[in-house]
Amino acid sequence: MLSKILIANRGEIAVRVIRACQEMGITSVAVYSDLDRDALHVRLADEAYSLGGQTAAESYLNTEKILEVIEQCGADGVHPGYGFFSENTDFARAITEKGVTFIGPPPEAIEVMGDKVSSRIAAQEAGVAGVPGTTEFLQSGDEVVAFGEEHGWPVAIKAAYGGGGRGMRVVPSAAEAHSALESAQSEALKGFGRDECYVERYLTKPRHVEMQIVCDSHGNGVYVGERDCSAQRRHQKLVEEAPAPDFPEETRRAMGQAAVDVALACGYVNAGTVEFLYQDGEFWFLEMNTRLQVEHPVTELVSGIDLVREQILVASGEPLSFSQDDIDLRGWAIEVRVNAEDPAGGKFIPSPGRITDLSVPQGPGIRWDGGYMAGDEVSQFYDNLVGKLVVWAGTRDLAIARMQRAIREMTVDGIKTTLPADLAILGHDDFKAARHSTKWVEEVLDLSGVTDVVDPAAAPGEGDEPEEKVRRDVDVEVNGKRFSVAMWVPASAAAPVAGDAGGGGALRPRRKGTAGGSAAAAGSGSVVVPMQGTIVKVTVAVGDEVTTGQTVCLLEAMKMENTIVADKDGTVAEIKVEAGQAVNANDVVLVIE
């Protein structure tokens, strides 16, 4: 059995793995960037080591630094979580070559299934049909045009090594093919370190149904039921549930067996998810995620199986603790993702900032998997997932009602979140009747009246407390390793932080004003960005004629590309930014006359 596991990740998934380790008597090791020095996963872990840097590339995607920490802390296992290096063959191989256990599939399986093109070939060889698409990486937009002309428009460009909708672009016609490929490659490179893409047919009204599988090193493979993840926007999931509604039992069995066949065909070991598109009674292989999924809690709640614990046991060489006949799914589970995004008008604009208050709901059948607490900062440099609210109930109707109650009971101040959109989804007749598809949120759901108000309370002022000494627990680093020490300092000099055990809790300045928005009036000609981020590309030049709604630059924030558009017709008179430049919310990037 593994004795010390390093979690090569951050946020709620790092917290989830740390908790599993602690329940199993395994020492947990966190790593962190400079921005995450006081993050929840760092505070909860048994040990924590600094990676330095701010961006993901400087920290959580720094292979050399992570390998140094593994050597330094003596970990005998590494859990990659999801995202970052979780589906990176080179990272998995580097771990195993050090004699350290990678808690995931063998590098060879990641190589086959982590690449969406080779996974399609592997699925076909296992007798599982996929959506029509290319089996070679795209070299130019001309290949997208040729595919679209043959199979019909629209088509979907996808990052071969990506996931979560990043690096994916839906192309409605030949005219957009070249720019869409360039955009997909750019986003894929930033998110996954590789820019290879492929193209496939884009189904009109499919449901996204995925099958959870677990395989051990003894040749056993089991499917643990399906999840419906059709409520999406920008091809990223908002609401997930298990089991899938209005889903025939014979289809469930066929899809489950297909998922196991695909996994065993590539020598897969550990937990994984095989994703399918389901439409009009048929299903097609979409891709395989060679890692734990964000939405794994709904499967855990209906099956009673701790998937992270099972991952660790399998990685330690143990056989599966259950067989296919042992799987007994009970009740219904629903998960909503609480992202730091402003859903107003269906725009889902990233909303980084400091969480001034976070109060989670309570009551029967409620679970909160979070990566933040009140006082913590949600940075523009990382994923925008604050946490996952999950409920279980005996029936789907009761699960929906319980989730609606839980959302209304939950408080998140300081940032805007997707909770109002989640509530709108759950309350819609189409969702209740399982008539929704992967395009339903963007094409049918009306979010024009959805708002999420940020608490505008001012930062607390200076008090008149007498000068006294108080205890402050602070974190220091010695040779890169994190230690907690107690200090007694004058109250006026104390700066309490999240996790401060000695000074009355986590007192941080509250975020003033509202997140997002625009400082300039619509149609003023002063084009502003609604959030912090980095300019990826300026698509116009001084002197160009532009029209209202035309893209003038691309902004990357929270690992997503966002288009910034002209607010009126006119001529570009001034460009104030360039590619690679960091900007703040409401900065003017371009002037139109």
Together in a domain, 243 and 356: no
Residue 69 lies in a domain: yes
Residue 67 and residue 191 in one domain: no
Establish if 490 belongs to a structural domain. no
Closest listed residue to residue 111, CA positions, set 93, 127, 130, 129: 93
Sequence-ordered strand ranges (E) for 72-219: 77-79, 101-102, 155-159, 169-171, 197-201, 207-215
Contacts for 23 with CB less than 8 Å, ≥ 6 apart: 309
Q: For position 12, which CATH number holds?
A: 3.40.50.20
Verify that 533 and 580 share a domain, yes or no. Answer: yes
One domain for residues 324 and 343: no
Measured between alpha carbons, how far is residue 355 from residues 35, 158, 278, 352, 411 in Å? 15, 33, 38, 9, 10
User: Do 304 and 357 lie in a common domain?
Assistant: no
Using the 3D structure, point to which of 404, 436, 455 is the last residue of a domain: 455
* Residues 158, 159, 162, 165, Cα dihedral to 10°: -40
What lies within 8 Å, CB to CB, of 377 at 6+ separation is 35, 352, 353, 354, 355
User: What pLDDT was estimated at residue 486?
Assistant: 66
Q: 435 and 323: one domain?
A: no
The domain containing residue 168 runs over which residues?
132-201
- Tokens encoding 532: 């912090």
User: Does residue 391 lie in a domain region?
Assistant: yes
The answer for residues whose C-beta is within 8 angstroms of residue 250's C-beta and 6 or more apart is none
Domain final position from 329, 359, 376: 329
| Residue 273 DSSP SS3 | strand
Do residue 320 and residue 383 come from a single domain? no
pLDDT score for 532 = 79
Same domain, residue pair 166 and 180: yes
According to the model, what pLDDT value does residue 450 have? Answer: 86
CATH number of the domain enclosing 156: 3.30.1490.20
Please state, in angstroms and rounded to a whole number, the distance separating the CA atoms of residues 36 and 406.
28
Q: Do both 241 and 120 map to the same domain?
A: yes
User: Which parts of 280-340 are beta strand (E)?
Assistant: 282-289, 332-339
Q: Is 509 part of a structural domain of the chain?
A: no
- Which amino acid, 75? A
pLDDT number for residue 195: 93
CATH of the domain at 556: 2.40.50.100
Within-domain flag for 482: no
What does the radius of gyration of the chain's CA atoms come to, in whole angstroms? Answer: 24
Q: Tell me: do 148 and 244 sit in the same domain.
A: no
DSSP string, 226-268: EEEEEEEETTEEEEEEES-TT--HHHHHHHHHHHHHHHHHTT-
Contacts (Cβ under 8 Å, ≥6 apart) of 240 = 227, 228, 229, 231, 295, 298, 334, 335, 337
The DSSP string of 468-515 is -EEEEEEEEEETTEEEEEEEEEEGGG----TT-TTTTS---PPPPS-S
In a domain, 531, yes or no: yes
Q: What is residue 502's predicted lDDT score, i.e. its pLDDT?
A: 40
212 with 325, same domain: the answer is yes
CATH label of the domain that carries residue 214? 3.30.470.20
Instruction: Count the residues in the chain.
Output: 593
What per-residue string of b and e applies to 158-190 under the rule 16 or more CB within 10 Å gives b?
A: bbbbbbbbbbbbbbeebebbeebbbbbbbbbbb
Alpha helix ranges (H) inside 24-163: 40-44, 63-73, 89-97, 107-113, 116-125, 141-151
* Residues sharing a CB contact under 8 Å with residue 25, sequence separation 6 or more, in sequence order: none
Instruction: Identify whether the C-beta of residue 87 lies closer than 8 Å to the C-beta of residue 289.
Output: yes
Shared domain check, 197 and 238: no
Question: For residue 488, what pLDDT is reported?
Answer: 62
Mean pLDDT by 10 residues, the chain (593 residues): 97 98 98 96 97 93 96 97 93 96 95 81 91 90 96 93 83 96 92 90 92 97 98 92 97 97 95 94 92 97 98 98 96 97 90 95 97 94 94 98 98 96 97 96 91 48 46 74 71 50 38 36 82 88 93 83 90 94 89 95
What is the structure's pLDDT at 468?
Answer: 60
The residue among 410, 439, 455 that closes a domain is: 455
Give the number of domains in the chain.
Answer: 5
The helices-and-strands tally (H runs, E runs) of the chain is 15, 32
Domain assignment of residue 189, yes or no: yes
Asked if the structure places residue 264 within a domain, the reply is: yes
0.85 surpassed by pTM: no
- Angle of helix 307-315 versus helix 11-23 axis, rounded to 10: 70
Whole-number Å distance between alpha carbons of 127 and 554: 41
Residue keyed to tokens 């599993």: 20
The pLDDT assigned to 485 comes to: 75
